[in-house]
Structure 1
Amino acid sequence: MHDVSLRKYLISVEEIYHEGGPAPARTLKRGAALAVIKNPFAGRYVEEIQGFMDDLKPLGLRMAKDLIAAMGGDPKAIEGYGKGAIVGSAGELEHGALWHVPGGYGMREVLGGAKAIVASTKKVGGPGTRLDVPVTHINASYVRSHFDAIEVGITDAPRADEILLALVMTTGPRIHARVGGLKASEIKGEDGLR
């Protein structure tokens, strides 16, 4: 068991009022929760790292709750989500994979029954590295109107011995989404895909 040592925490919400063309019926909110933590495995190879996923679960839950609160407080308003990690240079890509379970668990817990896999990405990089975190619909990964990405990063993170963890959410499809495919209104909810 490892302590989760938090250095920075950031919640950011963007609200889009217009994208050209006709004004949308409602604004679109796109939010990100970022946490910069010490990497307990930095600088050395450790075979057994899986236990750290359990240590990260409370942070994932906190980030998901805080992000929903910042986006208006209604979990039912969230339609898209994703997660990601940037590992500092003294770590390895696999350390970012430790975020898969706690990040997904946190969002699924507060969203109450989201069915789709939580899209994810990760990379190794230094301070100021940016990451495009993919977004998909929370109940059906094939809903094309919700395919998106939210760029995240913090100027001084991650340091070599840190990991930047990210959760992202949206309140709807891209404004003026019109490239066809499965619509949110057509979701069957059988398998998290359709």
Structure 2
Amino acid sequence: MPEPQIRKTAILTETIYHEGGPAPEVPQRRAACMTVIANPFAGRYVEDIAGFMEDLKPLGAQMAQDLIDALGGDAAAVEGYGKGAIVGTNGELEHGALWHVPGGYAMREKIADSMAIVPSTKKVGAPGARLDVPVTHTNASYVRSHFDAMEVGLADAPKADEILLVLVMTTGPRIHARVGGLAAADVKGEDGLR
């Protein structure tokens, strides 16, 4: 397959100073990198689509680095991540699943403590569709303080024959996390869970 045809990219960054309670000592930052590509399978059923994952790997690596740069350039500062895709209406949900390996592994390769699976979501949608991308701790999925989501979308994407690919990273837990569970400081990092 040819390399992905990119129409546009966007990076959204947020700095969260408080959520109505006391401000944290260090604001939490989160960012989403979005890339709109042509869907090479739009408008028809293709049985063998898995090869396109290989073609998406360089894009995943670039998007992961762009996110790290948007959050200050230090991959060690990243504590949470997630990924997602919105497939245009001439595509199918499975086309969004092509992003699992290239998007997830790209982030895990750049973040040293990243044993946890990268949570994901996908849907079929029209231009302007929004997606809540789930976020969990990078090294232990059971760290409740990092269960979060970031809403993303672009006004003009995806068009019917496109896919909007998304990666999300965060620098810490929810601002007022206080519902117990495994603390990030107690993560052993052996199995991606605890």
Which ranges of 4 or more aligned residues in structure 1 deviate by more than 6 Å? none
The aligned residue for residue 68 of structure 1 is 68
Task: Name the aligned partner's letter for residue 120 of structure 2.
Answer: S
Cα RMSD, aligned residues only:
0.7
**In structure 1, distance between residues paired with 2:18 and 2:181:** 23
Unaligned runs of 5+ in 1: none
Task: Name the aligned partner's letter for residue 147 of structure 1.
Answer: F
Structure 1 position 20, deviation (Å): 2.0
Residue aligned with 2:15, SS: strand
Structure 1 position 3, deviation (Å): 2.4
Structure 1 residues 161-189: Cα deviation after superposition (integer angstroms, max 9, x where no partner): 00000000000000010011111011111
Aligned length: 194
Structure 1 residues 77-108: Cα deviation after superposition (integer angstroms, max 9, x where no partner): 00000000000000000000000000011101
Task: Name the aligned partner's letter for residue 25 of structure 2.
Answer: A
Alignment of 1:73-152 (within 5 A): 73-152=73-152
Q: Structure 1 length as normaliser, TM-score?
A: 0.98
Task: Name the aligned partner's letter for residue 170 of structure 1.
Answer: T
Residue aligned with 1:94, SS: helix
Task: Name the aligned partner's letter for residue 107 of structure 2.
Answer: M
Residue aligned with 1:42, SS: coil
Structure 1 position 146, deviation (Å): 0.1
The aligned residue for residue 165 of structure 2 is 165
Structure 1 position 2, deviation (Å): 2.6
Structure 1 position 113, deviation (Å): 4.5
Task: Name the aligned partner's letter for residue 26 of structure 1.
Answer: V
Matched, 1:181 2:181: yes
**In structure 1, distance between residues paired with 2:22 and 2:160:** 46
Residue aligned with 2:154, SS: coil
The worse-fitting range, judged by mean Cα deviation, of 67-76 and 19-28 is: 19-28
Unaligned runs of 5+ in 2: none
**In structure 2, distance between residues paired with 1:3 and 1:179:** 45
- Do 1:2 and 1:40's aligned partners in 2 also have CA atoms closer than 8 Å? no
Identity of aligned residues (%): 73
**In structure 2, distance between residues paired with 1:191 and 1:32:** 26
Task: Name the aligned partner's letter for residue 67 of structure 2.
Answer: L
Structure 1 residues 116-164: Cα deviation after superposition (integer angstroms, max 9, x where no partner): 0000000000000000000000000000000000000000000000000
Residue aligned with 1:185, SS: helix
Residue aligned with 1:31, SS: strand
